[in-house]
Structure 1
Amino acid sequence: MSTTAHDTVDRARFAREWEDWHRVHEQRRADPHGFLAVAALFWLEPEPQTYPGIPGRWQTSEGGPVVALAAGESLVVDGRRIEGVHAFGPIAERAAETVGFAGGVIEVARRGGRDILRPRRPDFAFLSAYSGTPSYAPDPRWRVQARFVRYVVPRPHEVGAAVDGISHVYESPGYLELVLGDETRRLVTFPGHVPGTLNVLFTDATSGDTTYAANRSLSIDEPDADDRVVVDFNRAVNLPCAYTDFATCPLPPAENRLSVRIEAGEKTPTARAHGVVTAYGIEPREGASIEAVRAG
């Protein structure tokens, strides 16, 4: 395995820095309106539908999601209270709008070409019971030097999803070339959340054993002027689909399914949120459109 010069690394300091980073990551994950608070997933239909625990009758349209609120019902959109009929307008793929309601917030989003609703409730039992994610002990040996190879023009990559019947398309700016297990390997990258940074979705020989079967994610700093970058597998994390049935996470491209064991980063979560009835503790109302989501 080719790594950075880990022999000179202060291992105690390395561990502390990783622990600080992972604590912040866990805090974001367990935010009262974060992904562990997602209590259901609803796919909007062209005909108006009601959904358990959510105000209004909702539908999708060529112009985007629309909600019709009955007398006494309201939502908070962009900081203002709305009543009656509200059209959200077209929502871009992977974008979302957050709407306030009495029980928390509703994520109005578009995934795989379809409009969805995901209520996020601070009182959701799964969030309240969450006690953290097990991880491998941080090890400097898994900080790997890599070379970023840029495509002349970004290349579209279509990948599967944690939901049957949809897919995601990402524009890849290039790939990483690195040595793992004495072999040179390539990892296709996608744009990171911060401009200039990269994201890698991958599986490895631990997937389905000690780590989540479907995918893990790794954020990577912007490459330097020589397109060199450090890939720290200690910071590999689970995507939301590792925790909940209500996620539409992308799966790794075929090139990123590694045969080597990456014994670093987060392991399989110890608990998982299931089913809309479990989420709300009630049976769906007549006319509700609920689609079960199967992860991995």
Structure 2
Amino acid sequence: MTELSEKTVHPATTDLQVFTQDWLDWYRGQEERLAAPHGFLAITNLHWLDDRPQRFPDAPGAWWTDDAGVAVALDEGEELVVDGAPVRGEHRFGVLPERGGVNAVWGDAVIEVAKRGGHDIVRPRHPDAPLRTAFAGTPAYAPDPRWVVTGRYTAFDEPRPTTVGAAVEGLEHVYDAPGQVEFELDGRPLALTAFPGHGPDRLLVLFTDATSGVTTYAANRSLSLDPPAADGTVVLDFNRAANLPCAYTDLATCPLPPAENRLSVAIEAGLKTPRERNGDGEGREGDGA
């Protein structure tokens, strides 16, 4: 019997290698954005603004908000760089849009000024934040093609305003849900309400499943979807189920899934509970946002 050459590879093996490499590229990109010098792991505090000027230990100046929006009064010798221009004295950022914000540079730090759930916030990001410097990577399930499923997207007649909770108690987010994605797992029909994604016609679904609070983060995971085809076909690759920032830090205001997106099946794919939450990355019962 003729021996196979070492270079002989079954097509299915090659496809699996490509699939795995594509997933690894995605995973590394997720980790790099998270642990960037001014990524979410660099946040040192979450400051809520009101009409009283407040000073914070991790940001310069005194900060407040009023009908004219967010403002800061910098002391002599203090400086921020906003849109590439140095700012001294009093500076107004104006009224910020919901889920919008401005990044002001302060030395090697970035001071995020944003609006979340109708509230103006200041969220400094320092590269030497302990959460960032100690980060050792996110545990994940091994990628498996069985978790790539084809679904059908159906647009609502009109986008539906959908109110969801947040990782911060008492905060709410409102999204205009454009439609719903229906699919099957192991012959079981399921559906997820979709929110607008990042990019034209892209979709985002927030969900929990039977692994939530066990091996995956209890409060939420997210899945980004490419634009549906003309016939509504859409691919859900649950191997790319990602953690939102609140899985790593209590200083995030992430949205929670709508009630209908709490699935009873176990989706053993994608990112697991971060080690920062429980010390071992394997999750625990009742781990919350």
TM-score normalised by L of structure 2 = 0.90
**Aligned AA (1:32):** P
Say which of 22, 31, 38 aligns to 1:17: 22
CA deviations over 1:134-153 (Å, ceiling 9, x no partner): 00000000001100000111
Say which of 185, 198, 201 aligns to 1:196: 201
Give the SS at the match of 1:172.
Answer: strand
* Number of the residue aligned with 2:47: 42
Deviation of the 1:125 alpha carbon: 1.6
Instruction: Choose 1 or 2 for highest CA Rg.
Output: 2
* Number of the residue aligned with 1:147: 152
Answer yes or no: is 1:68 the counterpart of 2:94.
Answer: no
Deviation of the 1:30 alpha carbon: 1.1
Aligned mates of 1:53, 1:267 — CA distance in 2: 31
**Aligned AA (1:239):** L
Deviation of the 1:107 alpha carbon: 0.5
Say which of 158, 174, 179 aligns to 2:163: 158
Q: Is the 8 A contact 2:213 2:288 kept in 1?
A: no
* Deviates further, 14-23 or 229-238: 14-23
Q: Is the 8 A contact 1:135 1:264 kept in 2?
A: yes
Matches within 5 A, 1:109-258: 109-258=114-263
Q: Is the 8 A contact 1:41 1:119 kept in 2?
A: yes
Assess, with a 3 A threshold, how the Cα gap between structure 1 residues 9 and 167 changes in structure 2: closer, same or farther. Answer: farther
Q: Is the 8 A contact 2:103 2:110 kept in 1?
A: yes
Q: Is the 8 A contact 1:163 1:295 kept in 2?
A: no
Deviation of the 1:53 alpha carbon: 2.2
Assess, with a 3 A threshold, how the Cα gap between structure 1 residues 8 and 123 changes in structure 2: closer, same or farther. Answer: closer
**Aligned AA (2:78):** E
* Number of the residue aligned with 1:3: none
Identity of counterpart residues, as a percentage?
57
CA RMSD for the aligned pairs?
1.6
Q: Is the 8 A contact 2:159 2:179 kept in 1?
A: yes
Give the SS at the match of 2:60.
Answer: strand
**Aligned AA (2:86):** R
CA deviations over 1:151-206 (Å, ceiling 9, x no partner): 11111100000011110000011000101242211100000011110000000000
Give the SS at the match of 1:65.
Answer: strand
**Aligned AA (1:38):** I
Deviation of the 1:8 alpha carbon: 9.5
* Number of the residue aligned with 1:105: 110
5+ long unaligned stretches in structure 1: 1-6, 274-293
4+ residue segments displaced more than 3 Å: none
Aligned mates of 2:243, 2:58 — CA distance in 1: 28
5+ long unaligned stretches in structure 2: 1-11, 279-286
* Deviates further, 123-132 or 112-121: 123-132
Deviation of the 1:20 alpha carbon: 1.5
**Aligned AA (1:22):** Y
* Number of the residue aligned with 2:96: 91
CA deviations over 1:54-109 (Å, ceiling 9, x no partner): 11010011111110111111111111111111111100000010001124001000
Q: How many residues align structurally?
A: 270
**Aligned AA (1:139):** D
Q: Larger relative contact order (C-alpha < 8 A, sep ≥ 6)?
A: 1
Give the SS at the match of 2:66.
Answer: coil
**Aligned AA (1:57):** A
